[in-house]
Structure 1
Amino acid sequence: MLVFPRKLRPILHQSDRSGLLFALAGFSILSLGDGVIKSMAGEWPATGVAALRYAIGAAGLAIILLIKEGRAGFVFPHPVAQLMRGVGMGVATVSFFSAAFLMPLATATAIAFTAPMITAILSRFILGEPAPRATWLASIAALVGVLIMLRPSFADIGWPALLPLLASVGFSISIIGNRMVAGLGSTLSMQVIVASIAAVFLVCAASLGSVSGIPQLAVTVPDWTILARCALVAVTASSAHWLVYIATTKAGAATIVPMTYVQLLVAAMLGIMFFEDVPDAMTLLGASIIIGAGLYLWREGGQQRRANMAANS
């Protein structure tokens, strides 16, 4: 059970506590799914795993949408933003899955936590949102953390060590697309759109990889265990996203942000228990810097929001 210090209990309302518990469950399940993905390393290419996972997820969500909203739920507002969402998520997924295959899960997860900083910077150029000094300071600190964490991985595998960073960029583009389509459809219909576009993108990527002549990218007929694990990840990821959504309705997005770092703890535990990936001191240092940068950006953003609310009241 999640226990808060006595002095914080009056601050946290019942809805906040339940929201944090929902967030804790959701983010923990996401990392458990990442562990399942890593278990398929060497058995099937990451491109195939990503394509199959999203094809199953998109089909399942589409069936639920049809039952709940009928044909009216299948709308496609703002096509450019929808493509940003789907392709960005596709790039993020295949990059992160590939990274999880090649490097310790905790390392890939920690580097992926640069997404908030990247999102803030890209929003400056795509949406015209201001990038305050805190954004640049957090981004510089996160870059230092990434460089520290990439040291051993870059020496071992070369340029593919940058895949988690590419995953962060793809995820950030998808988040910006989410902002652009906010309120244009139900949450479920927006999930179906992003999953469907990502699935098409990933199937194309897996097909191109398979005919490229690169043995590691050849997509063969998968073993039934691959199908089962991809289906498990599709279900758990959708469930985790639902739990996080519920958490935001109970406690607010800003309140649950720190809970995202539970993913790193769970990833580290899975790496130690199942994959013999024990993080060294430099890896822990780099991860701490990235997390610190993210929490600093979250705190500064909260102060700015409160200042804006006070100015408008």
Structure 2
Amino acid sequence: MRNSSGFTLALAGFALLTCGDAVIKSMAGLWPAPAIAALRFAIAVPLLATFVIATQGKAALSVRRPWVQFARGFSLAASACLFFSSMFLMPLAEATAIVFVSPVITALLSAALLREPMRRGAWLATAIALAGVAIVLRPNLAELGIIAFMPLVAAMFMASMLIFNRMAAGTGSPMALQFAIAIVAAPVMIIVAGVGDMSGFEPWQISWPESSVILRCAIVAVSASMAHWLIYLGTTRSTAADAAQAAYVQLPVALLIDALVFRHSPDAMALGGSALIVSAGLIMWRLQRNAVIAGTQR
């Protein structure tokens, strides 16, 4: 029952994250993606600070290894900016599917940076994931050119954030670490948004936002914080590996939102490529779970 409730909480958390992505996509053309990311994180910072102080005290806001926290925040900011931009140009489900390649990239980075061994199955998962990405990118690459690679680069930054998350383990409470990452991501995105505005690039020109844009950014800030809290609770009531498996609910939720809200239905090739990416992620999850089980049996 404990494992079941944990998985359900994580499932709700990941589904809520995708609903927040849909809110972001609904702002396409209303305000630049970097400005939206900056406002989303700027709103999240005081919310997270208030929560941490109310539940753990002011001292909990101080976390160790500041350079690791900066790397986490920078990686998140870059990933969010690229992913938000890609959602403005691509269907939500396809951008979401490509970002699912991040567990495979994380495994590759772990092998290169953390000297963690790569099993034969991990290499197989990598090949399957890359094949899936190529299939999903196919129509978007023809239409958008190199811009279509934005969700793939976002996945790379997400993978680097996961690596830095491992390095940050034990440097603070889970919610304090969320605050630490947001307080870095917010100023980074404010700088990026400002540079974009001064660049003369029209899609990044910042005007005073409509009230609906501010409201939607606030909704995303609250929903994302709540989603991460649900995912954290899920990991405490089951295991991190089992809770992580719930992430794949994001794809069917994104497909449903695409169809009902944005009136887009992916073709069979895109669905097939998405299935390959998800399969690769499940292979990586299974390998990780088996390794954990083997380690506890020694």
TM-score by length of 2: 0.97
Of 147, 166, 178 in structure 1, the residue corresponding to residue 153 of structure 2 is 166
Structure-to-structure mapping, 1:123-162, within 5 angstroms: 123-162=110-149
Of 98, 104, 122 in structure 1, the residue corresponding to residue 109 of structure 2 is 122
CA distance in 1, matches of 2:47, 2:292: 37
CA distance in 2, matches of 1:239, 1:185: 19
Match of residue 257 from structure 2? 270
Structure-to-structure mapping, 1:53-64, within 5 angstroms: 53-64=40-51
SS at match of 2:178: helix
CA distance in 2, matches of 1:118, 1:230: 29
1:6-57: per-residue Cα shift (whole Å, max 9, x none)?
xxxxxxxx11111121112111111111110000001111111111001101
CA distance in 2, matches of 1:160, 1:32: 24
CA distance in 2, matches of 1:308, 1:26: 29
Shift of 1:258: 2.4
CA distance in 2, matches of 1:242, 1:229: 20
Shift of 1:256: 2.1
Structure-to-structure mapping, 1:137-216, within 5 angstroms: 137-216=124-203
1:118-141: per-residue Cα shift (whole Å, max 9, x none)?
011111222222222222211111
SS at match of 1:100: helix
Match of residue 40 from structure 1? 27
Residue 91, structure 1, aligned to residue 75, structure 2: no
Residue 254, structure 1, aligned to residue 229, structure 2: no
Match of residue 207 from structure 2? 220
Q: CA separation of 1:259/1:74 partners in 2, compared to 1, >3 Å: closer, same or farther?
A: closer
What is the letter of the counterpart of residue 244 of structure 2?
Answer: V
CA distance in 1, matches of 2:243, 2:66: 30
Match of residue 9 from structure 1? none
1:74-104: per-residue Cα shift (whole Å, max 9, x none)?
3241122112210010111011101111000
SS at match of 2:27: coil
Deviates more, 1:249-258 or 1:64-73: 64-73
Shift of 1:69: 3.5
CA distance in 2, matches of 1:259, 1:190: 22
Is the CA contact 2:93–2:255 (under 8 Å) kept in the aligned structure 1?
yes
Match of residue 281 from structure 1? 268
Of 279, 290, 297 in structure 2, the residue corresponding to residue 303 of structure 1 is 290
CA distance in 1, matches of 2:225, 2:122: 30
Is the CA contact 2:122–2:283 (under 8 Å) kept in the aligned structure 1?
no
Structure 1 alignment gaps of length 5 or more: 1-13
Deviates more, 1:83-92 or 1:105-114: 83-92
Over the residues paired in the alignment, what is the CA RMSD in angstroms?
1.1
CA distance in 1, matches of 2:244, 2:289: 11
Match of residue 10 from structure 1? none
Match of residue 5 from structure 1? none
TM-score by length of 1: 0.93
Shift of 1:271: 0.5
SS at match of 1:158: helix
Match of residue 222 from structure 2? 235
Shift of 1:182: 0.7
Shift of 1:68: 3.3
Shift of 1:288: 0.5
CA distance in 1, matches of 2:51, 2:150: 33
1:156-178: per-residue Cα shift (whole Å, max 9, x none)?
11111111111111111111111
Match of residue 103 from structure 1? 90
Deviates more, 1:104-113 or 1:258-267: 258-267
